[in-house]
Copies of this chain bind each other. A is one copy, B any other.
Amino acid sequence: MFSKQQQKYVQSLQIKKYRQEHQRFLVEGAKSVQELLKSDLETELLLCTPKFYAENEKILKKISVEQIPQTELEKLGTLQSNDAALAVVKMRENVPLIADADEFALVLDDIRDPGNLGTILRIADWYGIKKVICSETTVDFYNPKVVSASMGSFTRIRVYYSEISKYFENFVKIINSNNSSKKVIIENIDKNNNIEIIGTFLDSENVHHFDFPSSGYIVLGNESNGIGEEVEKLITKKITIPRFGEAESLNVGIATAVVLDNLRRRE
């Protein structure tokens, strides 16, 4: 039986405050739940329709599942229509992430729209980016709309929330407190006294002719205002997506895809 109290608990996870309190988040819909079950994320509670159970019996019979009608599922979650499943999942710890040698990480400075963040995670996952550092003003990674828009990529991307300038200031400390695999970068920093922090701006170097370094950070900025002044000071290389027509700007998800496509084509 699914109690009133459990119902309230599940519904509360639609709100960031309660997600943080319980360190749990919601995963909804067929595609997202299927990806969840293939991942190493820890599922606390799984609710699904008899139809979804029948279609996914192989993967579901190993775990504890409660079958409930579609109408109940929709009452608990945020999706207007959900004839499949909903899970309560343990959030990952907010542990510092750094880009290893030969690796790029994304840095998101104040991305506000959950659809945009979800789309960025999906693109990062397509282009083999595994780590995303988010400013504390960036929308919550565990927001149900972010999870849904990521189309399953929320299971594969690691995220770390931090004030961006603090993140880079404390960089060496972070590296030192980490394991031995990070030594390559410590040496790299020691030798060159810099890490490459690449940001997209208007009227900078054409990304089509830009010579990407072998590792570093790619910064994307706020939907309306771009990269903030504080973070701009940290940028070591400014790039621009060239325009051939008349639109004023590109959406931040689109910009992410174009930059990552240009990064990968060099390899």
- Chain B residues within 8 Å of A244, by CB: 126-128, 264
Which residue of chain B has the shortest Cβ distance to A243 in the bound complex? Answer: B126
Chain A: interface residue total (CB-CB under 8 A) = 34
A92 vs B258: C-alpha distance when bound (angstroms): 32
- Chain B residues within 8 Å of A249, by CB: 151
A101 sits at the interface (CB 8 A): no
A17 sits at the interface (CB 8 A): no
A43 sits at the interface (CB 8 A): no
- Chain B residues within 8 Å of A156, by CB: 245-247
- Chain B residues within 8 Å of A122, by CB: 247, 250-251
Q: Mark A247-267, 1 if CB is under 8 A from B, else 0.
A: 111110110011001101100
Interface secondary structure of A, over-half rule: loop
- Chain B residues within 8 Å of A69, by CB: none
- Chain B residues within 8 Å of A253, by CB: 251, 253-254
- Chain B residues within 8 Å of A123, by CB: 247, 250, 254
B245 touches A127 (CB 8 A): yes
Q: Mark A114-156, 1 if CB is under 8 A from B, else 0.
A: 0000010011111111100000000000000000000111001
A254 touches B119 (CB 8 A): yes
A126 touches B257 (CB 8 A): no
Residues of A participating in the B interface, judged by any CB pair closer than 8 Å? 119, 122-130, 151-153, 156, 208, 241-251, 253-254, 257-258, 261-262, 264-265
